[in-house]
Structure 1
Amino acid sequence: MADPLYYVDRSDLREGRLAEVRSAMRDLAAFVEANEPRLLAYRFFVDEPGATMTLLAVHPDSASLEFHLELGGPRFRAFAELIRMRSIDLYGRPSPAAVARLRQKAEMLGGGTVTVHSPEAGFGRLRPPDQVK
């Protein structure tokens, strides 16, 4: 089994758009939950001042991330007027195609950086739903 990919992105919320961002987050999370059964975790967070949004996702493999980017691409555009992407950090071994798509996403949402962090040591106990016994 491939190692999971841990995805974290951070964005600044545009002034006065917090309510719209929260609505868009709920809509996107519901869509992803209904259409991406392999995704292990998908959570949005907003900091206490309501100025920064963070998304945390755990994909079982690079194919899951690529599927997410393909399926969700049109829906990500809804955030373009609401946020300015600051950064995408990906922990694991994504495919070159996934990294290229992430760079396109970051550019579309404000030009944030994309950084890939290679695993060096550790372990995980996360399992895709179809592998839980």
Structure 2
Amino acid sequence: MSGPFVFIATNKVRDGKIEDEQRRVPGWIQFIQDNEPRTIGFHEYRSADGTEVEYIQIHPDTDSFEHHMRVLSDLANPSWKETLEGTTAIRMYGRPTQAILDMLEALAGAGIPVTVFDQHLGGFTRLQG
């Protein structure tokens, strides 16, 4: 059974930069909305202590996520480097392509823990109308 491709990345916030990150998010979300029309969902959450944020992305398939990675490489403003220290963990739901794994290593670096749940057993996604 094929399901959506879900990606979750945990990122460490630079010391004293959580407020800057919170101010950066609306523009970042708008950028994703404008440049990635197939993305089903894109959310950022912060930890209670403000030391970490997580990106949760829902894509209809791996092609959509590969497009996201290309957009990051080609068009994205690197302002996240001012507020985020780096990725500390990645979780993927769906079978990533080798291209996705290669792009993630190039962007996040080698040695980041990656967990993959590649077998979709069932579920549904409701779209707001």
- TM-score normalised to the size of structure 2? 0.84
Unaligned runs of 5+ in 1: none
Distance in 1, matches of 2:59 and 2:11, equals 20
- Which residue of 2 is the match for residue 75 of structure 1? 76
Give the letter for the 1:28 counterpart. W
Aligned residues: 127
Deviation at 1:124, TM superposition (A): 2.2
Deviation at 1:36, TM superposition (A): 1.1
Distance in 2, matches of 1:77 and 1:116, equals 27
**Relative contact order (C-alpha < 8 Å, sep 6+): which is higher?**
2
Unaligned runs of 5+ in 2: none
Deviation at 1:42, TM superposition (A): 0.1
Distance in 2, matches of 1:104 and 1:93, equals 19
Q: Indicate the percent of aligned positions where both proteins have the same amino acid.
A: 24
Which deviations, in whole Å up to 9, do the C-alpha atoms of 1:5-38 show, x marking residues without a partner? 0111111111111122112222211100112111
For the pair 1:28 / 2:28, whether they are aligned, the reply is yes
Q: Secondary structure of 1:104's match?
A: helix
- CA separation of 1:25 and 1:117: change in aligned 2, threshold 3 A: same
Distance in 2, matches of 1:24 and 1:100, equals 27
Are the equivalent residues in 1 in contact too, given 2:91–2:116 (CA < 8 A)? Answer: yes
- TM-score normalised to the size of structure 1? 0.82
The residue correspondences of 1:16-95 to structure 2 (distance < 5 A) are 16-73=16-73, 74-75=75-76, 77-83=78-84, 84-95=86-97
Any runs of at least 4 consecutive aligned residues in structure 1 with deviations exceeding 3 A, and if so which? Answer: none
Deviation at 1:48, TM superposition (A): 1.6
Give the letter for the 1:91 counterpart. Y
